[in-house]
Each structure stands twice: as structure tokens, then as C-alpha cells.
């Protein structure tokens, strides 16, 4: 399965990204966007999978930033 993931950074301090990837993002996982590492805090299916392809939305926060959850 190929995933097209829209990453949005919580708080808007950093730009997000749209990435094609073979692994589905999971809550607690780490993703690299540009030079920074981010922790995935939520993942939502944007539409049902189709032909081995799926669109997802993921909200992330700067990795190690416990204040971003508040």
C-alpha cells in the first residue's frame, strides 16, 4: 500500500508537508520534515483506500516538545 500523507504541525510554528510513503504513520511515531523531527499525535483517514493507495491526514508536534500537547 502507498500512503499520501498530509502532515500539519500543531501550533503552526513550522510548515507541514505532503509525503508519499510505504509505511502508514502511527501515533507516537517519528517523521522527518525538512531538517526537523516530529512526533505523530493523530492520524485520520481522509477517504477509504483505493487500488493499493490511501490518503491520510496526520497532526504532528516537534519531537520532544511536551508543551505542544497542552
Which residue in 36, 32, 27, 22 sits closest to 57, CA to CA? 27
- Give, for all 70 residues of the chain, the pLDDT tens digit: 999 999 999 998 899 999 999 999 999 999 999 999 999 999 999 999 999 999 999 999 999 865 544 4
**What radius of gyration, in Å, describes the C-alpha atoms of the chain?**
12
Q: Chain-centre distance of CA 67, in angstroms?
A: 18
Cα 53 to the chain's mean position, in Å?
16
Whole-prediction pTM value? 0.86
Amino acid at each position: 500500500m502507498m500512503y499520501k500523507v498530509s502532515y500539519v504541525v500543531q501550533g503552526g510554528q513550522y510548515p507541514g508537508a505532503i509525503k508519499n510513503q510505504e509505511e502508514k504513520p502511527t501515533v507516537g511515531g517519528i517523521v522527518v520534515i525538512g531538517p526537523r523531527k516530529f512526533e505523530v499525535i493523530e492520524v485520520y483517514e481522509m477517504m477509504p483506500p483505493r487500488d493499493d493507495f490511501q490518503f491520510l491526514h496526520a497532526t504532528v508536534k516537534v519531537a520532544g516538545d511536551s508543551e505542544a500537547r497542552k
